[in-house]
Structure 1
Amino acid sequence: MSELEAIVHKATSSKAVPPKRKHVRSIVLECYNENSSRGFFMELFKRPLDSNDIVCYKALITIHKVVQEGPKNALIEVNNRIQWFEHLRDHWNRHDVKGYGGLISEYCTMMIDKIRFHLAHPEYDGALSLENYSKTHRPDDVDIDKGLQACSHFMDLLDAIFRLHNTVVSATPYNDCKTSAFIPLVLDSYAIYIFIVHYLTVLVDKVDTMEVIEFAIQRFYTQYQTLRNFYLNANAITSVSSVIAVPNLPPDPPKFIRKKREQPKPKPQQQISPPPIKKELPPQEVIPVPVPTPVFIRQTVPVVYGNPYQQQQDMWQQQQLLQQQQQQEALLQQQRQQQLLQQQLLQQQQQQQQQQLMQQQLQQQQAQLSPQSSQQWVTFGDAQRQRSTSTPAQLEKKEAQLDQDKEAQKSQASSTTDSQGKTRVITKIITKQVSNTTEIQALKARIEELERLLQEEKDKNASLLLKLSEREALINELNHARKRLQDVSEANDSYTNEVVKQNDQLRDQLIALRDYTEKQRVNRLEREFNLAQKALNSYQSSFENPNNLGNQESTHALVIEDLQGHMSQANLLAQLCQQSDSDNEMDIFNAVSQVSDSLKNLFYDAKGASRLILDNGLQSKFLDSARKIGFLTGNLFESIRLQGGQCQDDEDKQRLLQNMNALKSGVAQFDDIIKQADKSAVTSPSSKDLDGFDLDDIAEKELLAAAKIIEDAANTLLAAKQKRPQKKEGDMPDVQEAILEAAMAITSATSTLVQAATLAQRERVEKGRASGPGGPLYRKDPTWSEGLISAAKSVAASTKALVDTANKAASGVEIQGGTEEALIANSKQVTAATSQLVAACKSKSDVNSPSQHKLTNAAKHVSNATALLVAAAKAVAAKVASEEEIDFEKLSVTAFKVKEMEQQMSILRLEKELETARKGLSVIRKTQYTE
């Protein structure tokens, strides 16, 4: 299972949970790496979209997010799959009566509408971003027809989103899997809202009349409240609001107002006649009347919508304003009454002044008349009423003189008559003056009363002014409190915005930290399991190595104990993987290490215990069962690695259970084979073969024949060396000669080795060890079934092949596959054959015997000679490389690029050949093991 397949499997699991953000992000990153979504769809089509409604619904959500966040090619490739969406919609309309079928059908309809929108408007990206659109287009340069068409299509797509939202809301019962579709829907709807507002704002100033755009504006206003309710519902869902910031639209939609107005048609100017010249009136004396100063009260408009406390506060403020207006009206009325009283008082004062002037005039007239009438008694028309005045002494003297004068007596009568007329006039004036005095006193009393009333009104006015000042102070305090409340509210809003911003940053950091932690955990898991897999491969290679004889003291009972220990460690690992705790990572690593170590012990003991099984078929089954245990353990490790160390869903648990059951079955089969081997064990097997021939005699003959073959090969090398021309003094050493020398050293060492093996075989036969138990068998192979016989043949054949290859290399004959590779391969074959021969000799001989020491030394000489031959082969390759070395500084740019491409092609070709060779070798080995 590839990495992308595992991620798609986890994102579209059958569990009713929303797709995890990290899985969707990994899919998007994979699409960006490939610059395509084909791989994603290929893995998605493997999922049961036609049979599992939850998997299909989560797949649609994942596709929607890939379209929004993925590369542009992903949107283009999704646009080409409109028929697939229609088929999926028709399928779930026909086959689903409950569950997610209706949601899938409506989601497919919405995706089809989105695809058609992008086909009609390819200039918009999958996320409908105004910022990305501004990079390639001018947002303010909008054609009227295209802008109205784009707004209409945007609103149609918004209606499709609303229909899907209503379907999700009506699909009860609710769960996070159903509502997870709100995340891409909120992003698309808000992007559409931004585009519509931008287009209508630009078009409202471009159209000639508002009638052209009025229909679009009214449709937008109709959709606005539905969009706001959608955001309120999405914000109330924790699984949505915790992932994205849901927009919060105001209650009132934005207003689209024209910035430039239509200029009215100019009207004809009328000739205005000059106004008549007014005559200046003489200035009139105006009595100053105090005018009350108006009080201006600042009204505030509530900002917060739907706040009961604010509404109550506004109502109280209106009542206060009404009371203040009433008080102002009462104050104005009192001031008007005061003005009327003052006017009356001024009139009375004027009348009093006029009366005082009249009284002064009367007093002056009376002063003029008093000298003539003060000397006599005055009679007022009646004899009883008389008035007398005192007469000074001078007048009495004058009267005496006048009495004496006769002429004065005559004129006294006429003067008396005149004074009587004047006295009547004065009497009238005095009577009038008395009546004026009474009026003056009445006016004074009226003035005092008016002054008293005026003082009362002033006191009332002062009290009202005091109350008004108190009211103004309260209003000012209220305004200050409101201002402080507004400042506090703004500070709270700014603090809230800052907290929200910090929360968003912390959320992003948390998500990034989670992703980093998950990535590190996955990397550690991959590293640990890779190490475990390498260890398994190493154990299997060691198990397959013919030179590895295993634990020679092992028994079947020890192998059974190893099986039990290995199975218990595997059960512990499975239990740790099924736990939901994310802190048991180290426990899982330790359990994997324990399972690997137990498998190593099992291989080591099983390889050694196989020597106790004499039946070739049963021994082959025994070893195959051990290999099967290693193979099943590798499958267990692979399944745990793919699921991330822990079981994510029921499918992971089912897969883990299947691997554990297979491992238990393999352990049980291995146990049965061990019991069968115990039953068929033979204590003293015969040293004769089926035809009755003595194998020890045949082994000695074959060793002598191998020695003869090696001696003939050495003579061939000597003859080839003698044919080469003699080297002169001062010549450089020849590489072909070095190859021949190394090959002769190998033949000499192998000849010594075969002779030592012959002596060891004779010593064993002489000591009677040839009749002992047979050597351990590894697999059903003719080489190991014949023991020393096949080992001797192998040494002879490999040595002869090495000599042939060395002769060809020294003669300059081209060897298929390369001279260096052929020499190294033959040298390794000789080393393996000698190791096999040494092992066969040591299996039934005394380790401390002289023949064994000689055999060991001969094997070391073979190894050293082989190393010399490998060095000579590498020298050949170095010489060829030096001859073919190219001076890159003299090459042109084109030639340099050509050489670079040739080297890359050579590397690719060699890597391909290496992979093919490895596969072929693996097939050959598997075929040998299964025979």
Structure 2
Amino acid sequence: IRQRMNSIRQVPSRVKSKRTETNLGAEREHFDKQQLTVLLVLTKSKANYSMTVAEEGYDSRNPVPSGKPFGYQIIQLEMLQPFINRCLKVLNWLCYPWSLQDCMRHYSDIAETGILWANLRDRYGYGQLVGLYTKLLCSKMEFHTKHPEIRCNLEASDELLERTAGTDINNVYVVHHFTWVILFQLTVEVFDYMDVELRLAEGVLRQLNTSIAISTLTAGQCKLAPLIQVYQLTHYKAIVNASMISSTGKYLHSKEPLAWAFAYLKMCLKTFFNKARDMLYFKRLIQIPRLPDSPPNFLRASALAEHVKPMVVIPDNEEPEDQEEDDPEPLIDVSEAASVSMASQPQVDIFDQAFGPPNNGFDDRDLQIDSLKQEIEHLRAELEKIKAEAQRYITQLKSQINSLEAELEEQRAQKQRALVENEQLRMELEATRQRNAEHENMQVTFVEAEKRAQATELRYNKLKEKHAELVANHAELLRKSADTVKMLSATQQTQEEVARTKQQLAFEVERVKQESDMKLEEQKFELDKLRREVEEKTGEILRVKGTLQTCEKASEQLNTSMSSLQAEKERLMRCVSEKEAELSSLRQAAQLKESSLQQERERSSKELGDLQVKLKDKHGREEQLLKKLLEEQFALLQGTVAEAEIIIQDAVAKLDDPLHIRCTSSPDYLVSRAEATLVSIDKVHAGHAHYLKNLEDAGPLLRALAQFSHLTADTIINGGATAHMAPTDHADRLTENCRECATQSLHFLQELKSKASIKSADPASVRVIVQKILRTAQGLRPKGMDVGKEELGDMVDKEMAATSAAIEEAVRRIDEMMNQARRDTEGVKLEVNERILNSCTDLMKAIRLLVLASTDLQKEIVESGRGAATVKEFYARNSRWTEGLISAAKAVGWGATELVDSADRVVLHTGKYEELIVCSHEIAASTAQLVAASKVKADRGSKKLSSLQQASRHVNEMAANVVASTKTGQEQIEDKDTMDFSGMSLIKLKKEEMESQVKVLELESMLENERLRLGELRKKHYEIAGVPLEQVAQDNGLRTPSPTVPSSPKPSKPTLMKKPALAQKPNIPPKTMTWRVGDEALN
């Protein structure tokens, strides 16, 4: 198809002249449509190809046809996701203005595809590679969207980089203060871009072995194919990085951080190139250069020009079909599909259809056309090489020019500094000459000025002290100025203090100026005075000239003193000049400080204006947010009220539900629910008052309404359930009160839903109805049992003492049985009896410790819970818990007595071992009942509760030892005869087998019947105890447990069925409690 396309494009001009312009345009359009159709079909077929095949060589080497509209239609296909690397080729080589825009339309699809493939954990690792590749593609689109002036293939000159950074040679201030920031940011972004590419290459090479065998397989080539575009981009990035680091270094004091980053990436890139250079797949497609061993020295300006830049070269394609192409190959290779279509259909040439078949099958002009095309391709390749070489030379020359210009600027600056120094030296020399002339004129006048010199020295000392004060004041002013700058940048409130500080500084500077001027005037006055005195002394010297001749010795002394005075004068003059220089420097510093303070004040005023605008915006947003908050709070309140109405309406519906007739509840539980509802009504009232005071916070009211709705519904439901067991009058009154409670509650909730009536809403009517329900439930409570509530406290102490006495009696009886067994038995029976009785003794001791721990915990509970009431009042107030505690204590004592009786019968061979096992189970269950009854009102962190639980575990262990000893003794005593199968025929064996099956079925039937009987007995036990099974479940708020009722394997043992008269189950609050602890521990 490509050959046909090229033949159509390169029709000779003499043939084209035979066509009209209209026919040519129509045929060309028709041909493009056919070509697009073929490409679309081939793209879908190639995307759906099931085998893993790498892309063709010409697809990897050559770019996509630039400016072809059908290329982007192919990219937009849904089936192009496996060939997503073509989008990167489009960005690399289609650098016309619309390429980036066309690819950015699919940014979200590419990103989602990458996330999808990255989360896919396939066995071949394609998912992770596709995720890395899409991440690279997204990074490239983001980079070029942010910097559209840089070409997509990253070919950028130094002028383009300078223009991208916004460099303006006419504005030196902008160059030195802003350009380096933009260049530095651009350099870091290119580093990040290059890092993403190196991660992709690392991920591909990590999954592949660098051996020749892997790179020649189709699966390996499919993974290596996308790296060709990475190679073509990374060498450009290395060049751009070097240029930008060199440009950024003009504005930075140190290039070392960027140089280190460049060296690191250069090392990774070198490793990447070295690994890929040895693979056969890359050798035939692309020529990878060798990178230099060391990066350029960015600290030297001419090092960049000497640096050898890496160039990735694409070798000339040796395939004849690629040499014949005038334009780069299309996005999708259609050679395979074209061969398939030509094999399945007769080949028809579009040129032959339009102009008819040629006269003969060969034309010399075809050879000429082919040779000319080859020459054009050869010349084009040479031209590209010449352009690349010229570009490289241009870049090197530009870098050299830049370095030379930098050196020239430096020499100019040095020359300027030298001129300034020379001028200063000349001025100093002139001043020195003038001073020397003045000194020569004044030599004669200082003969008798020794006393004046001393006075001058004193004045110099004073001047020196004054200078020290000036230096100290200057340092103090500098510190105050620094503090003032910090205070200016802190807040707006310190602005007035800054103004006052500035006035003080100005006053101090003015004062320093005035003092300096005064000192100068004083010095000038002293000099004038000295000069006048010198003139007066000159006259005196003329008068005494005659006397000097007679005083040579005195003259010599005077000459010596004069030389010393001259040296002193020179020293004083030097000090004066130094002070003048310091004074001028102080004036300059004060002027600079004043200008900086002015700038700081302007900046502060500007920031103040911005802050005021932001403050106004913030107030507006706060008002909007407050309004939104009030609306949201009221919406939450309406939602909560609506949900509460649904809960209460559902509870009222349960009263008329036929299925609810079977539900029952105790008056005590209804009383607890009604009391909890009254507490919740108080919370609703408090939350309602809080909400009316602060409409922004509806949290307390929402929480109170949620609790109120649930507790009210629970009270209504349990009131109806209690009415099912109450007398008719009480039941009707209780049901009517429940309905009225629901009506008043719904009315109260309805008032809360409206803003107009929310202030007048009052739950007082609901409180009145709930109090009526509470009084009715209290009237339905049982009036009392065999024992009054005032006697429960005494009963607890009596039952605990009786239990302890029963355990002591059991221990004494076991000791007697042990002595009797040692006298009457011997051998294996004696060993078995001793083991059983010893385990029973240990169990009794553990039970005694458990009873003592329970007594201590009971005393702690009474002391912590009774408050100001007496012990009897505490037991009377918690009557159900007290009755459960008494019942548990009686059960423990009764179980210990029964265990001793069973052990006595086993030792005397009148009982069964199973009786001991059942009694052990019953004791374990009774102790668990005692622990549960004591644990109800105990504090979780109580140490005595921990001691009680530890004693309970010890009892379970001892009970398990009793069961184990019993089973072991039973196995030792019982004789197990081994069956003798000798002399038995097949028929007899079959008969014995059938008889064994009959016995097994009979025993299974008996076991099932006994289990049913055990269940009925347990159910009857609850009825005799005075608490129905359903009522226990409702009172406790949990599922009805299966308590352990001791039973004997044989009906003929009625002694095991005896229970205490007040054996009632305790009123346990909702807790997870195991009743069959003994059975679970022993089994």
Q: TM-score, normalised by structure 1?
A: 0.26
